Amino acid sequence: MNVKRFNALMKGIACIVITALMISGCSFFQEIIGTEKKASMGKGATYPQYEADFDEFADAVFAGLVSMDQLTLRSMVLDEEKFGIQEAQSSWGDFSEDTEKEEWEYIEDLVDILDEYDYDDLTRGQRITLDMLRGFLVGTLSLKDCPDFYDPLNPYRGNHQFFAYSLDTYQIEDKDDLDMYIELVKDIEAYVEGMCEYERKRADDGLFMRDDYADMVIEDCNEIIDNDAEDFLSGFEQRIEEFDWLDEEERDEYIEKNREYVKDHVIPAYRLIVDTLEDLKGKGKDGYGLARYDGSKEYYAEIVRSETGTSMSVDEVFEMLEEEALKSSGEMMAVISSVDYDLLTDSFSVYTSPKAIIDNNIEKMEGLFPDLPDAPDELYTVKEMPKSIARFAAGMYNLPQVDDPWDNVFYISDNSSEGLDLYEVVSHECIPGHLYQTTYFLTSDTENLPLRYLLSAFGEGLGTEEGWTTYVEGISYRMAGLPETEARYVELFYEYLYAWMSMLDIGVNYYGWTMEEAIEYFSDLGMDNFFEVTESEMENVDTMPGMYLSYTVGKIELKKMIERAKDKLGDKYSDIEFRRFYLETGPCTFDILNREMDEWMKGF
């Protein structure tokens, strides 16, 4: 997938909290940094051909896509040989025009191959895979002639912020992994050189960032330079002390090599970013939102499709959000006078650790959610948040590899939130949220599981994933012991918040609202009683378009599915059986899910 145009839509490494407005900011951090190159490049990678057996074709596509760069490969696969992969095709990826051209050809050829399969001859699972892959590829192709709106140096989620994180969480099991880690450190400089050339091209096309955004990136980079790139040193040196398969001399050698590469390659890379942005300042366009650029509507429409997992138009999504916001705010005003605000603190005070929250949720889930089959006693590991990302995140769940589903790691920050906030983060990221949802899917009998999982990591089906997690957040309040009135109030508050922010996102990025127009819109609808349009919110939706849509639309669509199932099945409807169906079907789109639910309901 195109390293420049589509990187901002690709998801899959982790989930984190990013702002005071968002309890969980998964899509903020689920970008695969450095991403991709054509799958015919590199040893062991083969150009996918038509296979009479669709499963063989799906496996070949998985092997090609997952091996495009080392970070994607290591994050998704434990045993490369099991999937016929010898090595990744690149370390971090590149920004060259030749690579871009090859990628478009590769995508077009894959779409042509999909057209050769007779849909009626495929099994249910194969049809889901084909539909997901086609949606992902066609969605990507829709951006082929768009300007390069993707900015790899975004002030809030640019690559410069996450190089150290990617290394901190890179899985190291043996010396081969350790050697690859060291190569990744060295290769940052070459990757940044290409990235800066790409920024210059964007500037020539009138797409460079605003000066105040450039100053934010420069400040971040200078901070890393001024502390001698400590984020790239301390975490590594702490980890390497735990490797009992190294002797003391070997440890010292790797530490020294890492320090050498950080000094000779990482720090110069950050200096290059600073020099490039200083040189380009003044070439940006003031204002807010993608809508201030020509040709942005198609790009934003693809963001909406990918984030929500629906086939609705942007106008239809906006109308649905407006209806949801008005409904939620109305219901919230009806119960607000009955809320005991002390309970919003007291009910969560006993939960002082992620383990206490997860243990309570597992106990309360009995009879409400299907059990995880063959789950080990040690279902997850809690680790301290890497310093490189602790300033952004309260909690974070790392997706496991497709062939190692029980290696689940939840990172928690020392200065993480407490009480209700902590309960929401843990429930959303772990159980019954992403960890539960992911391990349930990875241990299922799903056809073409590797490719399905990779596509979901790339963001295809994000709405059905985040729809689940925001849905179970509401259930978690009750499992924590919060009384119904207070639980419903908190749930309505966040439904209103997400809908409000999503409308602002669409208004600014698609309709071209100014800040004054946004204030007037919400004021006219009486939606300025809880939330205020500020420069901070305008900046959020400007720099992270589509950020809130997967949570908001995902939950709305999931609730609509539940209501439809209840209407159809009546007394035969069961929450636990609906949840089992949803989890077993796995991440996809709501069009697919509703189609599959029609078949599921025929069994009653």
Q: Are residues 119 and 185 in the same domain?
A: no
Tell me: do 412 and 495 sit in the same domain: yes
* Alpha-carbon span 255 to 233, nearest angstrom: 8
Number of domains in the chain: 2
In angstroms, the Cα distances linking 391 to 3, 162, 220, 231, 599 are 27, 12, 12, 12, 46
**33 occurs within a structural domain:** yes
Domain boundary among 245, 264, 283: 283
Q: Per the domain annotation, does 133 fall within a domain?
A: yes
Last residue of a domain, one of 238, 265, 283: 283
Q: Which secondary structure element, helix H or strand E, spans residue 395, and what is its range?
A: strand 395-398
CA atoms within 13 A on the CB side of 215: 4
Whether 542 is in a domain gets the answer yes
Q: Identify whether 200 is part of a domain.
A: yes
Output the pTM of the full model.
Answer: 0.91
- Is 534 domain-assigned? yes
Quick one: which of 131, 137, 278 has its CA closest to 217?
278
Shared-domain flag, residues 268 and 195:
yes
Strand order in the sheet with 381-384: 14-16, 395-398, 409-412, 381-384
pLDDT value of residue 416:
65
Residues 109 and 169 in one domain: no
Do 184 and 222 belong together in one domain?
Answer: yes
Q: What is the pLDDT of residue 34?
A: 28
CB contact at 8 A, 422 and 357: yes
Are 132 and 169 members of one domain?
A: no
> 372 with 440: CB under 8 angstroms?
yes
Residues 137 and 160 in one domain: no
Q: Residues 584, 551: one domain?
A: yes
Cβ within 8 Å of residue 346, ≥6 positions away: none
Q: What is the pLDDT of residue 96?
A: 85
7, 32 contact by CB (below 8 A): yes
Q: Which residues pair with 25 in a beta bridge?
A: 16
Give residue 47's pLDDT.
Answer: 67
Q: Last residue of a domain, which of 238, 260, 283?
A: 283
What are the structure tokens assigned to 414, written together? 């020392």
Q: Do 156 and 135 fall into the same domain? A: no
**For residues 130 and 292, what is the distance between their CA atoms, to the nearest angstrom?**
36
DSSP designation for 171: -
Statement to judge: residues 117 and 233 lie in one domain: no
Q: How far apart are CA 480 and CA 364, in angstroms?
A: 9
Q: State the Cα–Cα distance between residues 182 and 175, nearest whole angstrom.
A: 10
Both 139 and 162 in one domain: the answer is: no
288 in a structural domain: no
For residues 140 and 222, state if they share a domain: no
Chunk the chain into consecutive blocks of 10 residues (it has 604) and report each block's average pLDDT, rounded to whole numbers. Answer: 29 26 31 29 55 94 92 93 90 87 89 95 97 95 90 93 92 95 97 96 95 96 96 94 95 97 98 98 95 94 94 97 96 94 92 93 96 90 80 82 94 78 92 96 96 94 95 95 96 95 98 97 91 94 95 97 98 97 96 97 94
Q: Which two tokens stand for residue 449?
A: 């599981």
Q: What is the pLDDT of residue 529?
A: 83
Query: Is residue 524 in some structural domain?
Result: yes
Instruction: Please indicate, yes or no, if residue 386 is contained in any of the structural domains.
Output: yes
Q: Please report, for the domain that includes residue 541, its CATH number.
A: 1.10.1370
Residue ranges making up the domain that contains 112: 1-147+293-604
